[in-house]
Chains A and B, each alone.
Chain A
Amino acid sequence: MTAPLIEISHLDHLWFQVSGTLCNLTCHHCFISCSPQNDSFGYLSLADVRRQLEQSVALGVKEYYFTGGEPFLNKEMVPILVETLGYGPATVLTNGTVLKEEWLQTLAAAEQESLFSLEFRVSIDGFSPETNDPIRGEGTFDRAIQGVSRLVQFGFLPIITAARTWPIEQDEQVIGKFVQVLRDAGYERPRLKLLPTLHLGAEAERTHGYRESERVTSEMLVEYDKSQLICEHSRIVTDRGVHVCPILIDSDDSLLGQTLESSLTPYRLDHGACLTCYQYGAICSNPSSSGGETKSEERGTTT
């Protein structure tokens, strides 16, 4: 069966794989297996990002997102964010363990001068060392919480993102514990975003990969709001070119072009991860850029 083809309606979200696959941590659920040794994707320079920002104006891009790896391993990350805030809103996905006060001081000042928001999304995958560290590594819970405290100290309101490595029925209980821990750490009004796990990369080893039957079909897209799919409104720049979405950069068919304009071609939903994107909707974007269906429950699947 041929997988359905998705056209991009407009390039709303421009992503940058700004630290490639290089990370100071080696999380067991990482869907692109980032680690200190994984340099299959490399850093983007300020000049690389600047070139794309300039191109993005004519394309009417709405929001800019930065991910890795750990973006703050990139020595130019702070000037990259400062420059981006001159164009539009910026969001950086970090593990929160390497943030330095002088960086945050510079970024707080840059956001204050800008019309636009700077969002930090800090990945923490459990509300305690016992639940987080087996996935993200020894001592990472305490270090990430320290990072959150530091962000709060500089006036930021980080969005804590947690991959759901627990049964969905436990969401309410887990959220409650997260909120308490964050308040105890000095974060009075914590913001949380739960993400589904993606059965790719290290996570496929930790649990299982996608089965052949786990795919999106054309029938499933009837009356479905396609704007919930990342590839319908996003592209990501890596050191190899422009790919379809942040989740699939490891897939051979994800590289769509060398320029933003040439990457705006339709994409076939051929991957198991496309089903996760379909089921949960808008998994990569911030809550403030919502505006689609409200879907707290998983959609039906063909499996």
Chain B
Amino acid sequence: MVTSTQPRIALFGGIYSNHLALAAAIQDAQSRGVDALYCLGDMGAFGPFPDRVFPLLIDNDVTCVQGNYDNSIGNQLDDCQCGYTDPRDNYFAQISYDYTLENTCNAGRNFLRDLPVELRLELGPWRVLLCHGSPRKMNEFLWSSTTPGHFLAHLAGQHQADVICATHTGIKWQRALDHGRHFVNVGVLGRPENDGTTNVWYTILGCDQNAQPQVEFVPVDYDHARLAREMSNEGLPDEFVATIITGWWTTCLEILPAKERRASRF
């Protein structure tokens, strides 16, 4: 057990039904002695057996924020509200959504429906805001290459936060803002981040000895081969399975800005 005198919290991004990565991340974070666990939403999608995520979150006291997927499943809407614009991306998003809705129990749906859209906490001297897409819109994509610091500073000011933490894009990044403020996209546990590696990522947020925000991105290895088998057995698309096995996205690509797309294989 690692101990620390400074407060540190673990932040999990979209889980996308990847119960194996979630279990591994919880264990890893607990072994690092973090003070609390949070999840920034999108518990279901993409992966198999959405109900396997709920006991892990509840039994390990993971405090959760609602994502667009959770809002959709919780309220039994027609689609995931992911915000894709490309017909192929929407085709695969709908397959994923229909499977997840059908396989989420009533208790799970109610759990997702009742989640808050944001959480606020204090970490050292900093006011931290946890949300899914952005503080102003649950399904806003904040990509590293399309989000200037002065825009993030505007969000921080408007929403009275010093540190904003979000997910939704599937790719981790961070940016220091003026006056010591900070933005963090915490990454996701649900699928690899389109770089040809099979691990996923979560974030540990703390304060250093000078009370400055300290961000550590943590890679998580898990039994991805087992997840791929489970997905295949559940009849989920081969395209999704390929992403788990290869680490490259095969869908949801048209939403990427130029820099992020250039780093992509497909």
Contact = CB atoms under 8 A, between A and B. Distances in A.
B144 interface: yes
A291 B146 contact: no
B259 interface: yes
B79 interface: yes
Q: Which of A12, A62, A172, A296 has the most CB of B within 10 A?
A: A62
B139 to A, nearest CB: 5
Given A60-B153, A89-B146, A116-B146, A290 B87 contact: no
Contacts of A111: 258-259
Interface stretch (B193-201, B214-222, B239-247, B249-257): B249-257
Contacts of A87: 148, 150
Contact of B254 (A171, A287, A293): A287
A292 B257 contact: no
A289 B146 contact: yes
A294 B85 contact: yes
Q: By DSSP majority rule, is chain B's interface helix, strand, loop, or mixed?
A: loop
Nearest to B68: A291
B254 A191 contact: yes
A227 B243 CA distance: 32
A60 B257 contact: no
Contacts of A296: 85, 87, 90
Interface in B70-109: 79, 81-87, 90
A60 B147 CA distance: 10
Contacts of A294: 79, 81-85, 90
A190 to B, nearest CB: 10
Contacts of B226: none
Interface residues of B, number: 37
Contacts of A290: 83-85, 141, 255
B120 interface: no
Nearest to B79: A294
Nearest to B145: A117
B85 A60 contact: no
A170 B155 CA distance: 41
A10 B145 CA distance: 20
A241 B4 CA distance: 57
Contact of B143 (A10, A12, A172, A288): A288
A61 interface: yes
A62 B147 contact: yes
B229 interface: no
Contacts of A62: 146-148, 151
A79 interface: no
A121 to B, nearest CB: 11
A40 interface: no
Interface string A28-72: 000000000000000000000000000011111111000000000
B37 to A, nearest CB: 27
B154 interface: yes
A220 interface: no
Interface string B205-243: 000000000000000000000000000000000000000
A157 B81 CA distance: 26
14 contacts: A57-B150, A88-B146, A88-B148, A89-B148, A172-B87, A175-B87, A191-B254, A289-B141, A291-B137, A291-B140, A292-B83, A294-B81, A296-B85, A296-B87
Interface of B: 79, 81-87, 90, 133, 136-137, 139-141, 143-148, 150-151, 153-155, 253-262, 266
Interface of A: 10, 12, 56-63, 87-89, 111, 115-119, 155-157, 171-172, 175, 189, 191, 193, 227, 282, 286-294, 296
